[in-house]
Structure 1
Amino acid sequence: MAYLKPFLLAAAAFTALDLLWLGVVARGIYARYLGQHMRPSTDWIAAILFYFIFLSGIIYFVVQPGTNNSGMAVLLRGAFFGMVAYSTYELTNRAVLQDWPWPIVLIDIAWGTVLCALVGWFSWYFSQNTT
């Protein structure tokens, strides 16, 4: 039960921010650079599996260790987790896929860093400060 509340808070924040990012803010950027790689429709099974695994990582590595830390420590831990995770994906793609664009690598790493910092902090803060 100690993980359920922060997980649900993280899921709400991550979903809202990521859908805003993917569906509105960066939609044109992805279409421009990755149009040839994009699916006509989302594979929701893969998306849900990713969200579940990734959010579990945020809770385990960012939120739970932050229980006795400051909000700044949680923000920094979240930023580092996001940078590592998104760098792993983007730099692997750049290394092995032909024509994987550098702008997407840099944009996604920056986005993952900010996203995970915010989601981790949000989940930590509202888990600590609500009943």
Structure 2
Amino acid sequence: MSYVIAYAATAVVFFGLDYVWLSRVSTGFYKSRMDHLLMDQPNLLAAGLFYLVYVAGIVYFAVAPALGNGSAMSALVAGAILGLIAYGTYDMTNLATVKNWSVAVTVVDMAWGTVLTGVSAWAGYLVATRFSVVPS
């Protein structure tokens, strides 16, 4: 049950923060640098599948180990490392293969992925430890 709670909490935080980031904070930044690449409407099925799988990865690689060792800090750090690796893979691959891919987008997006994933893992850990029996 701890992992179900961790998944749900991590997902709510991840979706919520990413929604605010993509719809309110960074819209102009990405649009000014990538407008020629963006679709009029995002593919919500693809986005939804990404979110479901990525949150499972956050729980597996960051939250679950933290639940095992009892450390919120390890959830935060492991989540941040996972975010840097995942977002870095996407952005550095695009920088290497997509014409006119923005270096600024790469840097900002990697930083965002690091923070977003770390904070989401940390929150998932905190909620799971608060509302469930954590395995020892």
TM-score clears 0.5: yes
- Residue 129 (structure 1) shift: 1.2
Equivalences for 1:113-128 in 2 at 5 Å? 113-128=114-129
- Residue 3 (structure 1) shift: 2.4
- Residue 41 (structure 1) shift: 0.7
> 2 CA distance for matches of 1:13 and 1:105?
23
> 2 CA distance for matches of 1:3 and 1:74?
13
**Partner of 2:7 in structure 1?**
7
Q: Give the aligned CA root-mean-square deviation in angstroms.
A: 0.9
Equivalences for 1:35-114 in 2 at 5 Å? 35-67=35-67, 68-114=69-115
Amino acid at match of 1:27: T
Describe the SS at the equivalent of 1:99: coil
- Residue 72 (structure 1) shift: 1.3
Amino acid at match of 2:49: L
- Residue 121 (structure 1) shift: 0.2
> 1 CA distance for matches of 2:74 and 2:60?
15
Amino acid at match of 1:80: I
Q: TM-score, normalised by structure 2?
A: 0.93
> After alignment, is 24-33 or 62-71 more displaced?
62-71
Alignment length (residue pairs): 131
> 2 CA distance for matches of 1:85 and 1:108?
11
> After alignment, is 70-79 or 25-34 more displaced?
70-79
- Percentage of pairs with the same residue: 34
Question: Structure 2: which 5+ runs fail to align?
Answer: none
Question: Structure 1: which 5+ runs fail to align?
Answer: none
Amino acid at match of 2:10: A
Structure 2 contact 62–78 (Cα < 8 Å) conserved? yes
Off by >6 Å, runs of 4+ in structure 1:
none
> 2 CA distance for matches of 1:47 and 1:72?
29
Amino acid at match of 2:18: D
